[in-house]
Amino acid sequence: MATSVKRRRVSSRQPAQARLTPTRSPSEGPCLRGPPAPVARPACAPPSSPARGDSARHCPPLSQVAEPVGGGGDGDADLDPVTGFLSWCERVGLELSPKVAVSRQGTVAGYGMVARESVQPGELLFTVPRAALLSPHTCAIGGLLEREQGALQSQSGWVPLLLALLHELQAPTSLWNPYFALWPELDHLEHPMFWPEEERRRLLQGTGVLEAVEKDLANIRREYNSIVLPFMEAHPDLFSPRVRSLELYQQLVALVMAYSFQEPLEEDDDEKEPNSPLMVPAADILNHVANHNANLEYSPDCLRMVATQPIPKGHEIFNTYGQMANWQLLHMYGFVEPYPGNTDDTADIQMVTVREAALQGTKVEAERLLLYERWDFLCKLEMVGDEGAFVVGREEVITEEELTATLKVLCMPAEEFEELKDQDNWEDDSREEDSLTLTKMPKLRASWRQLLRASVLLTLQAYAADLQTEQSILSNQEAYAKLTWREQQALQVRYGQKMILHNLLELTS
């Protein structure tokens, strides 16, 4: 199912809607996007992650919400988390291959899965029966959630799962308690939504993360206060006071962003709403890299993790969240892939930035009015939007169709634009030299290159520091080591974006 597709984005600083995507961030509702793809567990903050200052959040650890964690009535509370989890797997029919091990040793961060023996492509790593999945349908209050589904409607579609988690976390005899024991402490999640606002602004200016987090927080508060809290208060016997907390709800939203999976629709169901997210024990233990070596497959009775590449003995087993830029990884999962590891990294050029660059080239009011007319024309065609972004990768322009149309319309002579407005299928009238592949960009029309270059320069102005400053820190191991973990992650995001943008500058010079 992890096939590459063309990526398209005409929405505000979000993962491209036509790329393979995980459960969507709440900055768009929160809501789910399609086409869906599984979300595996990210690399959590390393043990050396800096302590939080006085301004940071100090919320109850998971052990204070679920009493007791690792319980379940079968003696698991007396076992270490991994042993208890493996014992639980046997009871619920979750079958792990003898060739794999759950471990903290040999992983990029936190718990992960490591090959005990060499694994070949196509080998089954583990099987999760559907009864072991944690979802609104399998939880202890599934009947209530189904009866009340009308009252639980939201943009996100996440509310039923989040209520299921809130209930199960507090239940001493929850079926999933040994599974919860492998979760990170909820007050140690490293998503930028938990960073102090000043730190977020200082480190992530210009990256797109700031805007996404602000939308997340606003939508989380709205959803909690209007839907979730009233529901819990209406059922006090099912939700103890200690789980009626906006802070806990925000932490669980972040956890669902980072750990949940979204089952893909059948090919003939493309018009249906995406499936709701669900928690998949064992599958969410796997960490992520762009060059992953395992993939989750869905069947009516179970979910299966299958190797997609040879995995040598002792190597970590990785899933993928789809084609995710570093800013998206940091926003939704709380980590990045250090440069140049993330081959799916991208940089955004805001669509309104291209409009601003074009306006700077006008000299009289008539030219400005004509430019706004052209922009309105593109908006009606849904090629641009005031909150959209053109997305550029290391080797391609992801939103090539939209950017090509925008450059063409904004740069053409006035008389040609007048003719264009009355044409059908004008987009088909394209020339080979107008291709926006990076290798052909130096051959673009001079007016296109000039507008694109001006747009890149405006985009670079949004960052607090230039590329050379970032480069000097990254090339100095001693200076880099002195940065906090958050500073390192933010630097990797900024540097990757600036490298892509500076490459565009060279190609359009």
Q: Which three-class secondary structure state does DSSP give residue 126?
A: strand
C-alpha span between 352 and 236 (Å, rounded): 48
Residue after which a domain boundary falls, among 278, 301, 333: 333
What is the C-alpha separation between 246 and 477, in angstroms, rounded? 40
Confidence (pLDDT) at 65: 47
Contact of 395 with 438, CB cutoff 8 Å: yes
Contacts (Cβ under 8 Å, ≥6 apart) of 42: 258, 287, 288, 321, 329, 333, 334, 335
Which portions of the chain are predicted below pLDDT 50?
A: 1-24, 27-75
Domain of 365, CATH number, reads 3.90.1420.10
What radius of gyration do the chain's Cα atoms show? 24
- For residue 71, the model assigns a pLDDT of 37
Please report whether residue 32 resides in a domain. no
Q: Do residue 183 and residue 286 come from a single domain?
A: yes
Q: Is 421 exposed, middle or buried (0-12, 13-18, 19+ CB in 10 A)?
A: exposed
DSSP 462-509: TSSS-HHHHHHHHT-HHHHHTS-HHHHHHHHHHHHHHHHHHHHHHHT-
Residue 480 phi/psi, 5° resolution? -65, -40
Furthest-apart CA pair in the chain: how many Å? 80
The reply to whether 257 and 376 lie within a common domain is no
Identify whether residues 359 and 322 lie together within a single domain: no
Amino acid at 81: P
Euclidean distance between CA atoms 126 and 63, whole angstroms: 28
* CA 177/CA 81 separation, integer angstroms: 10
The closest of 385, 399, 383 to 348, measured between CA atoms, is 399
- Whether residue 285 is found in the same domain as residue 385: no
Other Cβ atoms closer than 10 A to 237? 5
Give yes or no: residues 287 and 351 share one domain: no
Is there a domain that residue 59 lies in? no
The three-state secondary structure class of 82 is helix
Same domain, 124 and 98: yes
Domains in the chain: how many in total?
2
Same domain, yes or no: 183 and 205: yes
Task: Provide the 3-class DSSP secondary structure of residue 361.
Answer: coil
- Tell whether 317 and 450 lie within a shared domain: no
pTM: 0.84
Per the domain annotation, does 315 fall within a domain? Answer: yes
pLDDT value for 280:
98
Are 302 and 375 members of one domain?
no
Single out the residue in 333, 358, 380 at which a domain terminates. Answer: 333
- Is residue 388 located within the same domain as residue 296? no
Helix (H) or strand (E) holding 288: strand 287-288
Question: Among 145, 175, 139, which residue's Cα sits nearest to residue 157?
Answer: 145
Q: Which domain holds residue 355?
A: 346-507
Q: Is residue 461 part of a domain?
A: yes
Sign of CA dihedral 104, 319, 253, 327: positive
Contact 264, 298 (CB under 8 A): yes
Burial class (CB in 10 A: 0-12, 13-18, 19+), 352: middle
Q: Is 11 inside any structural domain?
A: no
Distant-in-sequence contacts of 165-168, Cβ < 8 A, 24+ apart: 165/134, 165/252, 165/255, 165/256, 165/279, 166/228, 166/232, 166/239, 166/243, 166/248, 166/249, 166/252, 167/139, 167/140, 167/141, 167/238, 167/239, 167/243, 168/134, 168/139, 168/140
CA dist list (Å): 278 to 159, 260, 283, 294: 11, 5, 11, 19
Q: Of 333, 364, 389, which residue sits at a domain end?
A: 333
Same domain (yes/no): 211, 317? yes
Is 4 a member of any domain? no
Inside any domain, residue 44: no
pLDDT at 321: 84
Residue 115 backbone phi and psi in degrees, to 5:
-80, 120
3-state secondary structure of 84: helix
Helix (H, G, I), strand (E, B) or coil at 276: coil
Distances (CA, A) of 67 to 61, 78, 82, 461: 11, 14, 18, 50
Rounded CA gap, 466 and 457, in Å?
A: 11
Same domain, 223 and 96: yes
User: What pLDDT does residue 110 have?
Assistant: 86
Assign residue 157 the CATH number of its domain. Answer: 3.90.1410.10
**Is 157 contained in some domain?**
yes
CA distances from 467 to 211, 335, 372 (A): 22, 21, 33
Q: Which runs of E-coded beta strand occur in 299-432?
A: 302-307, 316-319, 346-350, 389-393
